[in-house]
Structure 1
Amino acid sequence: MTQSENTQNIPPSHVVGIGTSAGGLEALQEFFGNLPSDTGATYIVVQHLSPDYKSMMSELLTKHTDMPIFEVSDSITIEANAIYLMPPRKNMLITEGKLLLSDQMPDRLPHLSIDVFLRSLAEDQQHKAIGIILSGTGTDGTRGIRAMKEAGGLVVVQKPDSAKFDGMPTNAYQTGLADMVLLPSEMGKSLVDFINHPSIKGDAPVSSFTASDGDSKVLEDIFDILKKQSSINFAQYKSSTVSRRIERRLGINQLKTLDAYLRLLTESPREVSILSKELLINVTRFFRDDEAFDKLTTVAVHKILTSGNGKDPIRLWIAGCSSGEEAYSIAILFDEAKEKYQIDRRVKIFATDVDEDAIAEASTGVYAAEIVQDISKSRLNRYFEPTGNAYVVSAKLRKMVIFAQHNMIEDPPFSNINLLSCRNALIYFQQNAQQKVFLSFYFALQQYGYLFLGNSESLGDMAVHFDTVDERTRIFQKVSAARLPLKQPSSLKQNITTPVVSTSSTTNTHQSRMVINNKYNTVMERLIEHYAPDCVVLNDSFDAVHVYGDMTPYTKGLGRGKVSLNIKDMICDDLAIAVSTALYRSEKNEEDVFYSDVACTLDGVPSFIDLAVFMVKQSEHQSSPRSYILQFIVHEQGDVVRKSPKSITFDGGEQSLQRIHDLEQELVKKQEHLQVTIEELETTNEELQSANEELMSSNEELQSTNEELQSVNEELYTVNSEYQEKISQLTEANMDLDNVINSTDLGIIFLDENLTIRKYTPHSANYINLRTSDIGRPIHHISHELDYSDFLTQIGNVSTKGEIVEQDILTKAGQTALLRMAPYAVSDDISSTAQHGVLITITNISRLKFVENALVQAQEQFKTLLINRSKRLHHRIEVNQHVTVMVVDDDAVDRLRVQRYFKESEDRSYTIVEAKTLEEAIELADRMKVDVCLLDYQLGANTAEDFVKAMKIKNIDTPIILLSGQKESVMDKTFLSNEIIDVISKDELSKPLLVRSIDYVLERKEIKDIVQRFEVSER
Structure 2
Amino acid sequence: MEGTTDEAFEALLRYMRDTRGFDFTGYKRASLMRRVRHRMDQAGYGTFEEYLDVLQAGSDEFAALFNTILINVTAFFRDPEAWEFVSAEVIPRMLAERGPDDPIRVWSAGCASGQEAYSLAMLLAEALGPDAFRQRIKIYATDVDEEALADARVATYDAKAVESVPPELLARYFEHVNGRYAFHKDLRRAVIFGRNDLVKDAPISRVDLLVCRNTLMYLNAETQRNVLSRLHFALAPQGTLFLGHAEMLLSHSDRFAPLSLKNRIFRKVAGGQGGVDRYDPAAAFYEHGADLSGLMTVRDLAFRASPVAQIVITGEDTVAMINQQAESVFGLSARDIGRLLRDLEVSYRPVELRAYLEQAKVERRATRIPDVKWQRQGAETGWFEIHVNPLVDAENGLLGVSIVFFDVTATRALLDKVVHTNRQLEAAYEELQSTNEELETTNEELQSTVEELETTNEELQSTNEELETMNEELQATNDELHAINDALRERSVELDDAKNFLGSLINSVRPGMVVVDREMRVVVWNRACEDLWGLRADETTGTRLTELDIGLPLDGVRPLIGNAFVDPDASGETVVDAVTRRGRAARVRVVCTSFRSADGTVGGALLLMEVVG
So what's the TM-score if we normalise by structure 2?
Answer: 0.44
So what's the TM-score if we normalise by structure 1?
Answer: 0.27
Give the greater-gyration-radius structure (CA).
Answer: 1
Greater RCO (Cα-Cα under 8 Å, separation 6 or more): 2
